[in-house]
Amino acid sequence: MLRSMLNRFGGMLIVMALVVTIVFVIVRVTPGDPAAVMLGPDATAADIQSLRDRLGLNASIPEQFLSYVGGLLRGDLGQSIFLNIPVGQALLERAEPTFFLTVFSLLIATAIALPVGIMSAYLRGTVFDQAMTTLAMVAASVPSFWLALILMQFFAVRMGWFDTSGYGGPGASFAERMHHLVLPAVSLGLVSSALITRFTRASMLDVLNDDYVRTARSKGMSEWRVVVRHALKNALIPILTVIGLTAALLISGAIVTETVFGLPGVGSLIVSAVLRRDYPVIQGALLIVAGLYVLINFIIDMLYLAVDPRVRY
Amino acid sequence: MKIVTSLIAASVAVLSLCSVALAQAKGGVIDVATIGEPPTLDPMASTADLVGMVTQHIYETLYTFDKDWNTTPLLAAEMPTISEDGLTYTIPLRTGVTFHDGAAMTSADVVASLERWMRIATRGKQTAEIIKSVEATDEATVTITLNKAYAPLIALLSLNNSAAIIIPAANAEQDPLTSFIGTGPYMLKEQRADQFIQLVRFEDYQSIDAEPNGYGGGRMQYLDEIRFVPVPDPNTRVEGAVSGQFAYADSLPVEAYERLSGGQTEPLVLKPFGWPAFIFNTKEGLGSNLAFRKAVQAALAPQDMMLAAFGSEEFFTIDGAFYPDNFAWHTDAGTEVYLPEGDVEKAKTLAQEAGYDGTTPIRILTSRQYEFHYKMAQVAQAYLEMAGFKVQLDVVEWATLTQTRTDPAAWDIYISHSPFLSEPALMGVLNDTSPGWWVSDAKAAALDAFNAEVDPDRRVELFADVQKIIYEEVPLIKVGNFNALAAQSPKLEGVTPASWPYFWNAYLTE
Amino acid sequence: MAAISASAPHREPNLLMRLARRPTAFVGLLIILTIAVLSILAPWIAPYSPIKLSVANRLNGPSLEHFFGTDDMGRDVFTRVLYSGRTSLTVAVAVVTLASILGVVLGLVSGFFRKADAPISRLIDAMMAFPDILLAIALVAALGPSATNVVIALGLVYAPRLARVVRASTLVVRELPYVEAARALAVPTHKILTRHVLRNVASPLLVQATFIFSSSILAEAGLSFLGVGISPDIPTWGTMISVGRQYLDAAPWIMWFPGGAIVITVLSLQLVGDGLRDLLDPRLAKDI
């Protein structure tokens, strides 16, 4: 068992090394020049060259790669060219809106998906079930930025209930900041509720057909107790897995949604870093996001190993 | 109380500037939506307008512009004394001016700052070639000596991008600048990247004792705080203005005009703001041929290009002159080849003359950073194709464009725009090294004469020659004049429409 | 869906016919075919030119002359939605094709040859560690915004997903008795792969490809919306929305119709995908 753990750990290291290389290659073949963006429209070619020298952009690609990997090994993600602060700090400063946006979207998605999914499974084949299944499919077909714009138009501009963009000014209270997250979280939550609804419905269907549920019914238990106490309890593991999966998918959604609502999160940082050619920030963000994913996968594998020693890699 | 204040506000509006000090209450915080995050808070280090717009509240220059675009003293006590031969500028400084850190500004700070400007700033480096020395004559006087007479000097010292700002001598060695200390009416409190730049009133600010006049004159400090909020998406800026989130929103699409009226915000039109231009690569490829450039000029129809880009006649004028008629520089010299409707037949003849083969595509480089650039490119493509040209639109990101245009092998035309600069010598196309690389004997002759002349009236006459040469050699095509649209809350008063909006003198009413 | 899938017990030869028996899948198929046909026939049925500018007619609302109104350049939105369909669908088809080719090759090789399995699987793991939009943004920025490069970027993003499906099926098929028998009889490997393995891998591949088809339509629109997608002078549904966004209030129809086209297309593809999965892979159908 120790051997397979070590094997798996080695595999993870290889994957991380590949991730680092992929990120570096993608970012460095990207055309465009951060120096020209910073110096403004009337800068001379000589000015741009001297800034490139200072930023280390004129070093050869292998040299840049070595110094980048060297930095990573020391835990240094580099310095943002445009923001002039360490990349780690830039990412940390942006973590809060993204974190809460993800949490709220998940809460909204789950709050919609669980009851709807359970009811659909229970009322399988009825008009309600068909309507909800169709609705879930429609929700999964809507581009999230489109929904975001429509919500913004109606609730922020027309009704004036929310600000259209931003995350509150200097010294904004926690409540004010969260208020800015309502529309983004609703638009993301609605779209991601589709997947969870379908999974909940399917898992519940499975369980409702199982023997022990039938037994519980035959014992004369109330329907409510059968569904919630027995069926839901057993369907919960796959449902939780899909909720976890959705959380990982939300970072993609956050990129677009944060941009639409001008939220200063990790997603919008990545988009603006791409537009400004802020190489270290793009590298750092891609690396952290991908690294977290690899790490979570590794932990899950380890848990499976611990639970079931027959699993071998 | 409310009625009284609004009555006063109304009478102020009527009486205009006569009773400035009476009615405006101190206090209040405003959020200003800008087009993005400035790449730096050091206006020496960038020529971007956005950097100038934000930092002009923090730092000041020796001179600045009044409402008629004349230079006027700011940190200098008066206009310079210029020697007969135009080589020596003696600049008296104001006394009693302090930096945000409490230190008094002296001639040593000014010399150190100007030296930094000549070392770091794009415009400073260019000017350094003709500056022989910058010396402190005494505590409150600085003398600039030139190699040759150069009339645009004071205008250059007045600009707010690539700006000759005055900072403490102790900070002048910093590159990049890390202490953002100036003498301006507002000082930096906190900057959070992509979220806000928070400026607060500088309590020890020494204003010039005069009525406000453009960027010059007295600078009042009614507002407690100004926050610049980067909102890169124009649509989001509009929505934020309409919902009342922003007291001021900069650079809005003209289509939004109707929406801005009658609610939490009002439209603010700056007319004329500037001019879009198609800039030729005169160094390599198709554009190195004068007949070709003339053919393109004849093929384009400025009228339709401006209409597509700016929507309605309220937002543009069709004008070939490089300065509109409210500027002293206005002249029609050479503009007879500017044809609002274009002339397809003439274009075809000229293209034949130029030996255009009908297959080589004209590579037009543009981006959607400014939507009107892209729209003009689309219309231009349609007209050029009508005249028998092949066109290839290269629509790239701004970051790619600023890099690509420095490569003479990569493009034939790129699209740009410029505000009406107070000093024609600062126009990009007149610089031999700016992308386009227009160099000619006729240009050099006209420009040298213009730059060496000190007499303002004579300079106006000499500018007509410069404009004529531009129209003869077609290094660029001026498309027209356009107006800029911004939005401001009806509660915000005292903001003058300006190329680089500023918020000293602005105040909030109930 | 499960209720419906239970009612299709016999096997019939034609997949299309079998699919057509399922009402929802049939409706989906009908819609997607209609959209495809309309897009292909765009040059003949569109009432106006998609590129000719008519600046005087800009931002006109929907009317009898212009069913979907006109855009900021005075072009007919209905016409442009039709032409955009050509590009959006072509891009999506190209993405699916590229991803399938890459996915099948990678998946077959890593599933069939033990030595190749570890390196390819690690590469797939590494690619799949990136959220899809994020990787696509970075790739398009690197390659430059053009239709071809969007196809390449999205193809690379989705290929690992298909490769995993193919690898998993290949692993199973490889151990089947008749494949082992064929290997024992020294049948050339490429024949085993094409004759036996590929045929068995086809069903799950087809189901996945349908979902990747719909994902890439959404992804292309998202990239174009962020301004990092297809060059804006080529009409696609995504670029139309990104232009229409500026006129959200003055001329919302510029954005409505291409947005609606996306929703309908993606929805019908999902209906077809669900139908296919129920038909071809009843085990999976029960899971989801």
Q: What is the CATH number of the domain that holds C187?
A: 1.10.3720.10
Does residue C153 lie within any of the structural domains? yes
Question: Which one has a higher pLDDT value, C176 or B98?
Answer: B98
Q: Tell me the average pLDDT across B45-70.
A: 92
CB contacts, 8 Å: A145 with chain C: 222, 225, 241
A31 touches chain B (CB under 8 A): yes
What DSSP state is assigned to residue C186? T
Q: Which residue has the higher pLDDT, B130 or B401?
A: B130
Q: Which of B176, B193, B402 sits opposite A36 (nearest CB)?
A: B402
CB contact under 8 A, C233 and B256: no
Does any domain span residue C170? yes
A contact test, residue of C127, C137, C216, C224 with most A CBs within 10 A: C137
> Which band of pLDDT confidence, cut at 50, 70 and 90, is reported for residue B17?
very low
Q: Is the pTM of this model over 0.90?
A: no
Question: What is the extent of the structural domain holding C94?
Answer: 22-41+66-279
Q: Is C123 a member of any domain?
A: yes
Residue B412 shares a structural domain with residue B394? yes
Do B375 and C52 lie within an 8 Å CB cutoff? Answer: no
Amino acid letter, residue C104:
V
User: SS3 for B130-192, per residue?
Assistant: CEEEEEEEECCEEEEEECCCCCCHHHHHHCCCCCCECCCHHHCCCCCCCCCCCCCCEEEEEEE
Name the nearest CA neighbour of A290 among C127, C163, C143: C127
Q: Report the length, in residues, of chain A.
A: 313
Task: Round to whole Å and give the CA distance between C238 and B252.
Answer: 23
Q: How far is C111 from C164, CA to CA, in rounded Å? A: 9
Q: Do B259 and C250 touch (CB under 8 A)?
A: yes
In a domain, C4, yes or no: no
Question: By residue range, what is the domain housing residue B421?
Answer: 274-484
Regarding whether B414 and B346 lie in a shared domain, the answer is: yes
Q: Are residues B328 and B423 in the same domain?
A: yes
pLDDT of residue B62: 96
Which whole number is the average pLDDT over B131-150? 94
Same domain, B346 and B396: yes
Query: Is residue B440 less than 8 Å (CB to CB) from chain C?
Result: no
Predicted pLDDT at A312: 45
Contact list in B for residue A263 (CB cut-off 8 A) is none
Q: Which of C132, C138, C221 sits opposite A274 (nearest CB)?
A: C138
Q: How many CB pairs lie under 8 A apart between chains A and C? A: 127
Chain B positions in Cβ-Cβ contact with residue A156 (cut-off 8 Å): 239, 243
Assign a CATH topology to domain A95-264.
Answer: MetI-like fold (1.10.3720)
Cis peptide leading into C9, omega within 30 of 0? no
How far apart (Å, rounded) are the C-alpha atoms in residues B47 and B34? 16
**B449 at C interface, C-beta within 8 A:** no
What per-residue confidence (pLDDT) applies to B73? 96
User: Based on the domain organization, do B167 and B188 belong to the same domain?
Assistant: no
Residues of chain C found within 8 Å of residue B375, distances taken between Cβ atoms? 72-73
Separation in Å, CA of A14 to nearest CA in chain C: 7
On whether both B4 and B109 belong to a single domain, the answer is no
Measured between CA atoms, how close is B309 to chain C, in angstroms?
9
Is the N-terminal amide bond of B176 cis, ω within 30° of 0? yes
Q: Measured between alpha carbons, how far is B57 from B407 in angstroms, rounded to an integer?
A: 36
Do C142 and A18 count as a contact with CB atoms less than 8 A apart? no
Query: Is the distance from CB of B459 to CB of B151 less than 8 angstroms?
Result: yes
Contact B194 A269 (CB under 8 A): yes
**Which residue, among C103, C72, C210, C249, has the nearest Cα to C167 in the 3D structure?**
C103
Distance CA B225, CA B31 (A): 9
Strands in B445-495 per DSSP E? 476-478, 481-488, 492-493
Q: What pLDDT sits at residue C243? A: 79
Residues B397, C141: C-beta atoms closer than 8 Å: yes
Question: In chain B, how many domains are there?
Answer: 3
Nearest-CA distance from C55 to chain B in Å?
6
Enumerate the residues of chain C whose CB falls inside 8 A of the CB of residue B235: 245-246, 248
Report CA torsion sign: B468, B469, B473, B479: negative
- B320 and B243 share one domain: no
pLDDT at residue C10 above 60? Answer: no
In this predicted structure, the answer to whether residue B16 has a pLDDT above a threshold of 50 is no
Q: Given this model, what pLDDT does residue A1 score?
A: 67
Average per-residue pLDDT for chain C: 83
CATH number of residue B173's parent domain: 3.90.76.10
- Which carries the bigger pLDDT value, residue C90 or residue A254? C90
Choosing from B161, B177, B193, the residue where a domain stops is B177
Q: CA-nearest residue of chain C to B312?
A: C56
Which residues are CB-contacts of A271 (< 8 A; sequence separation ≥ 6)? A255, A258, A259, C137, C226, C228
- Each residue's pLDDT tens digit, C249-284: 777 788 888 999 999 999 999 888 888 887 876 554
- pLDDT (0 to 100) of residue B446: 94
Looking at the fold, whether B137 and B284 belong to one and the same domain comes out as no
Angle between helices A266-276 and A279-307 (to 10 degrees): 140
Residues of chain A contacting residue C259, judged by C-beta atoms under 8 Å apart: 143, 146
Determine contact: B259 vs chain C, CB below 8 A. Answer: yes
Locate the chain B residue with the closest alpha carbon to A168. Answer: B195
Q: Is residue C56 part of a domain?
A: no
What pLDDT score was predicted for residue B10? 41
**B238: nearest CA partner in chain C:** C246
The DSSP call for residue B267 is E
SS3 A5: helix
Per-window interface: A 131-190 vs B, CB < 8 A: 152-153, 156-157, 160, 163-167, 169-170
% of chain B beyond a pLDDT of 70: 95
C-alpha to C-alpha distance for B491 and B266, rounded to whole angstroms: 10
Domain check: are B52 and B148 in the same one? no
Asked if C246 lies within 8 A of B253 by C-beta distance, the reply is yes
Contact between chains at B399 and A32 (C-beta distance less than 8 A)? yes
Of the partner residues B194, B399, B404, the one whose CB lies closest to the CB of residue A37: B399
Pairwise CB contact (< 8 Å): C123 & A18: yes
Q: What digits encode the pLDDT tens for the residues B176-191?
A: 898 999 999 999 999 8
CA B433 → CA B405, B408, B466, distances in Å? Answer: 12, 11, 17
List pLDDT tens digits, range C97-111: 999 999 999 999 998
Contact A42 B194 (CB under 8 A): no
The answer to whether the CB atoms of A277 and B399 lie below 8 A apart is yes
Q: Are residues B112 and B164 in the same domain?
A: yes
- Cross-chain residue pair C214–A141, CB shorter than 8 Å: yes
Structural domains in chain C (count):
1
* CATH code of residue B445: 3.10.105.10
Ordered by start, the domain boundaries in chain A are 2-90, 95-264
Residues in chain A with pLDDT values less than 70: 1, 169-170, 237-238, 241, 245, 300, 304-313
Q: How many CB atoms lie within 10 A of CB A255?
A: 25
The percent of chain B in helix, strand and coil, each rounded to the nearest 5, is 35, 25, 45
Identify whether residues B447 and B504 lie together within a single domain: no
CA A302 – CA B265 distance, rounded (Å) = 58
- For residue B47, list chain A residues with Cβ-Cβ distance below 8 A: 39-43
Chains contacting C (3 or more CB pairs within 8 Å): A, B
Q: Is B118 in the same domain as B168?
A: yes
CA distance C13 to chain B (A): 50
Closest residue in B to C57 (Cα) is: B308
